[in-house]
Amino acid sequence: MNNIELEFPDGSKNEFKQGVTVEEVAYSIGTGLGDDCIAGKLDGELVAKEQEICSDAVIEIVTEGSEDYLKVLRHTASHILAHAVQKVFGDVKLGMGKWADNERFYYDFGDLEVEKSDFESIKKEMVSIIEKDFELERVEKSFEEAREMLSGQPFKKELLEELKSEGKKITFYKHGDFIDLCNGPHVKSTGEVKSFKLLEISGAYWRGEESNEMHKRIYGTAFRKEKDLEEFLEKMRKAKKRDHRRIGKEMGIFQINEIAGSGLPLFGPNGKKIIDQLKSYMHEINDRLDHVSVQTPHVYRTELWKKSGHYENYREDMFLMDVDDEEYGMKPMNCPGHCLIYKNESRSYRDLPIRYAEDGTVYRREQKGELSGLFRLWGFTQDDAHLFVRPDQIKEEVSKLLESAIDIMKTMGMESSVKLATKNPDKYMGSDEIWEKSERLLKEVLEESDVEWELEPEDAAFYGPKIDFAMIDALGREWDGPTIQLDFNMPEAFDLNYKGEDNEDHRCVMIHRALLGSYDRFLGVLIEHFGGNFPTWLAPEQVRILPVSDDQIGYAEKIKEKLSDFRVEIEDRSWTLGKKIQNAHDERVPYMFIVGEKEKSAGTVSVRDRNEREVRDIEIKEFLEHLEKEIEEKSLELSFIE
């Protein structure tokens, strides 16, 4: 049997016999670590402690003190949920269950009529299962044994057939009288799930395919301690107040109208003003990075998508149509059009890098059940760019983009986590050698930077690995953000070359990047991050002038003229001053000017901000100078009134 090399989080390496399990590796380090081992991570993927390791990998032992412990705990909670549902409803058809994200778990059920009013009964059974502290036992079965065990469970049998065709081990996890087809990992016993809560019910297509049966998905969350659960529930209450769909409607930012179509947002004047500011900001960054703007169509013949690889790898997510007996597709990505622009001229090694940027609207056929406000859409506009570079320019260009992404996060007042997404073995184009080279180059850039990062196995785009940023908002939630992708494959598909110093043709390399991701989703994230209280530079209305009576409207108009470079409105409705102030506050306007006869006579204003601070007798020039500075610096705080 051959040896394999395992690399540990501290960078040390050691050889083991091929087929060693995660738990055996833990015990080789120390008895205590072996006893504490809950699961493992191989090249960033969470696996059961019984997982055999057959090739070189980066390994991490997961214990109760590990960051990933809660994912394992919540996976076990999903099994407890399924067990409880069986006890309450009898014979149910089981789908799949696991941790859903950093905070929740779910389990899917076929042919189940369940309502939130059933949660109390389900919870009671879950508490009983937890109190009995059943051990989680991993059981291996032959295909024939497993098929017999899963009679009456059509969805599990479908998964079983796949395991057989892939030649994988067939494993179940058992606790008490409940057993489920599952790879794990799980905690040691049900009693470890100390605190949990069932959250909501939604629909979910089996295996995420819209053509499949709709299941009922029950979401929940689980924690080590009751205190942690209470903190999570409080965060959920705060998140509900910040819901971008509600705030977006209140502020006139956007709407989703079913007459227009699901997943196709309509931006009102306030939304357009914010997006314009984001675009202006990104154009400044593009200028700094020497990007040049291009524009490409929304629809192409599918011959282009076949050439780019999208037709084979992305067809199910595209909007396709027949026009005059020819098939066309709405663009899901901007890159093929940029490839055609590059290919239109002969290129020299001196011309590279060439950097094309486009605020390009793309269309992706997301499942209707997964569309959500601005976060999951059918049509959205990316701050997209594609760089055509020589191989020796890759690391420098990626490093610059990495720095820009970090700057954007700082400007928005967000922290971020960074991951390197590697090849999906079921969906990729190009050779293994090219993928290994691409992943190695991105890894080197990350290792040479000051950025903390981790692997995100099998989550790359089909044409190349990528560096993904997850934006962390004011409530600690993670959102998809900037992405930088390295691509040796599309230049191959489009035969994209340049003349080298040797006067021979050489293949260029593409770097795909979207530093906001998309303007639409980024705006949704910002609404929730700021709770609608945008910093002054982004606010759709920066100053509102509030005349005490109609007698000061003429003076208010003169003030507005002096602030013509800014977004200023006059509240001229015949309301009381108190109502005018309250309305401006409710509409989250950063600054208010209160002007009465005293201010009119003195040529001054009283300034009030949305934080309910106020100063009187301010010269307009003084405020104007401050406003210019606050906007130029993209300050996150309203700082005129200390």
DSSP 347-412: -BTTT--EEEEEEEEEE----GGG-BTTTB-SEEEEEEEEEEE-GGGHHHHHHHHHHHHHHHHHHT
Superfamily of domain 3-62: Beta-grasp domain (3.10.20.30)
User: Which residues does 30 contact at the CB level (< 8 Å), separation at least 6?
Assistant: none
The CATH architecture assigned to 69-241 reads 2-Layer Sandwich (3.30)
Say which residues have a Cβ less than 8 Å from residue 187's Cβ, sequence separation at least 6.
38, 69, 72, 73, 76, 136, 193
Q: Which of 106, 95, 367, 111 is nearest to 207 (CA)?
A: 95
* Strands, E assignment, 428-536: 453-456, 466-472, 478-487, 497-499, 505-507, 509-514
What pLDDT score does 102 carry?
Answer: 67
In this structure, what token pair is assigned to residue 27? 């015990």
Buried b (16+ CB within 10 A) or exposed e, 568-586: bbbbeeeeeeeebbeebbe
Pick the CATH number of 543-632 from 3.40.50.800, 3.20.20.70, 2.40.10.220, 1.10.1370.30: 3.40.50.800
pLDDT of residue 1: 62
* Residues paired with 360 in a beta bridge: 382
CA triplet 271, 275, 279: central angle to 5 degrees?
Answer: 170
Q: How far apart are CA 67 and CA 37, in angstroms?
A: 13
- Rounded to whole angstroms, the Cα distance separating 251 from 273 reads 12
Residue 471 identity? M
CATH superfamily of 249-530: Bira Bifunctional Protein; Domain 2 (3.30.930.10)
- Position 204 scores a pLDDT of 85
- Residue 583 near residue 575, CB atoms below 8 Å: yes
Task: Please state the domain extents for the chain.
Answer: 3-62, 69-241, 249-530, 543-632
Tokens, residue 168: 């994988």
Q: Can you say whether residue 176 is alpha, beta or left, with left for phi > 0 and alpha for psi between -120 and 50 degrees?
A: left
Helices (H) and strands (E) in the chain, counts: 20, 34
Query: Model-level pTM?
Result: 0.80
Cα-flanking dihedrals φ and ψ of residue 607, to 5°? -105, 130
- Residues present in the chain in total: 642
Q: What's the pLDDT score for residue 543?
A: 96
DSSP 282-331: HHHHHHHTT-EE----SEEEHHHHHHHTHHHHHGGGS-EEEETTEEEEE-
Q: How far is CA 32 from CA 23, 28, 35, 123, 576, in A?
A: 11, 10, 5, 35, 71
> Tokens standing for 446?
């990350």
**Cα 158 from chain centre:** 30
What does the buried/exposed string (b/e) look like for 447-462 if buried means 16 or more CB atoms within 10 Å of the residue's CB?
Answer: eebebebebbbbbbbb
Q: What pLDDT is recorded for position 475?
A: 82
CA gap 219, 216 in Å, rounded = 10
The segments of the chain whose pLDDT lies below 70 read 1, 102, 369
**Other beta carbons within 10 Å of 140:** 11
The first and second tokens of residue 319, run together, are: 């909007």
pLDDT tens profile 455-494: 888 788 777 899 999 988 888 888 888 999 998 888 988 9
Segment 570-614, tens digit of pLDDT: 999 989 999 999 999 999 999 999 999 999 999 999 999 999 999
Strand 320-323 to 39-42 pairing: unpaired
Residues forming the active site: 335, 364, 382, 384, 386, 466, 512
Which tokens sit at 144? 């024939």
Amino acid present at 177: D
